Amino acid sequence: MDEKLRQAFHSQVEKEPFASKFSLKLLEIGDGYSKVEMKFRPDMENLFAMAHGGALFALIDEALETAANSHGTLAVALNMNVAFIASPKPGSTLRAEAREVSLTRKTASYDIKVHDARGSLVAACMAMVYRKGLPLPFVGEESE
């Protein structure tokens, strides 16, 4: 992956309002790959004092967003199938790792796994994106 593109992604995720709301941090990004981290906070609990599925989905979606767009062209989610395996412990650091499993001119598929700091599987997702073929709007901003 081009270093300017890598840096642009890190900068954009740091500025993204939604990522800020959930304290999402982009740890790694490469062609068709990303790793994103989030700390599970009490304000992310559901009615049963367990992790809200929406909070876990936010982490998964950020990993998909960065991995799918890592080729430098705009990709948008078509389908995401999430299995919630276990609720993390409060205060857990969660990591979502997205790996590209197929790539065509118009679509791509990703396997995304969420683990806690002990390595326990929290959630798993298979996702498909539509590749629009348009340049990313923030590419080049860092050098201007």
pLDDT 10s digits, 27-49:
999 999 999 999 999 999 999 99
Task: Return the CATH fold of 3-135.
Answer: Thiol Ester Dehydrase; Chain A (3.10.129)
In the structure encoding, which two tokens stand for residue 64, read together? 């998909």
Task: Please state the rounded mean pLDDT for residues 50-71.
Answer: 98
Amino acid letter, 126: M
pLDDT of residue 50: 95
Flag whether pLDDT at 7 surpasses 60: yes
What confidence tier does 139 reach under pLDDT thresholds 50, 70, 90? confident
CA–CA separation, 10 and 82 (whole Å): 25
Q: What is the pTM of this model?
A: 0.94
